[in-house]
Amino acid sequence: MKKIDKAFHLVKKELIVALALAASLVSLFSLMVVLLPKDAFAVAGGVVTSVGGAVIAYLVIRSLKFIRSKKTIFVSYTHADSEFVNQLIEELSDLNVRFLVDRIELHVGDDIKTAVDSMIDAADSIIFVVSMASSDSKWSKNELEQAMSRKKKILPVVLNADAIPIALSGLYYADFSTERAVGFAQLRKTLGRK
């Protein structure tokens, strides 16, 4: 929560600076109306307005980019592991992360494969929940293949070490197989990084 508060404080600060700059430009513009001849006023006013507008636009864009810095993570899992995924998202909800979960993002009538592919494309990284159920799931295998073909960073979350796919066998993983607190600490460390 502290990171979110800090983000809003920085955005608020930059927007206040932009508003102060705008007010200063209005004051300067008013002073120019009184002091300068009409020809000089037109040129100077155009320059001041252009420079001021560019500075304000820069500050606003910078603020918006800071807000977008939230990581987007697609969670690949089987529905047999839904309860664990709910717990995972709840436990990590204080991080600056947006989780994409099919059952939350999908709407009635959506083409599931197309929507899931779009979520994978939109994600910065993929949490792949490894369990005995996922090792038997065609959907999980397909999602992993899609993520790997798109060169997405895969974050294996292992519920059962015997179910780790060969494609992920060389990756360091968050180990939830023995003690969940250890897995959460490992994942929190990774997701908390910039």
pLDDT in tens, 144-166: 999 999 999 999 999 999 999 99
* Among 44, 68, 92, residue at a domain's last position: 68
Shared domain for 87 and 52, answered yes or no, is no
64 and 40 in a common domain = yes
Which of 19, 40, 68 terminates a domain? The answer is 68
End-to-end CA distance of the chain: 16
- pLDDT of 68-107, one tens digit each? 568 999 999 999 999 999 999 999 988 989 999 999 999 9
How many Å is the Cα radius of gyration of the chain?
25
Examine the domain organization and report whether 120 and 55 are in the same domain: no
- Are 94 and 34 contained in the same domain? no
Range of the domain at 23: 2-68
Residue type, 41: F
pLDDT average, residue stretch 8-26: 62
Higher pLDDT, 3 or 30: 30
Q: What amino acid occupies position 130? A: V
- Write the CATH number for 91: 3.40.50.10140
CA distance to 22, 56, 182, per residue, from 51 (Å): 11, 9, 53
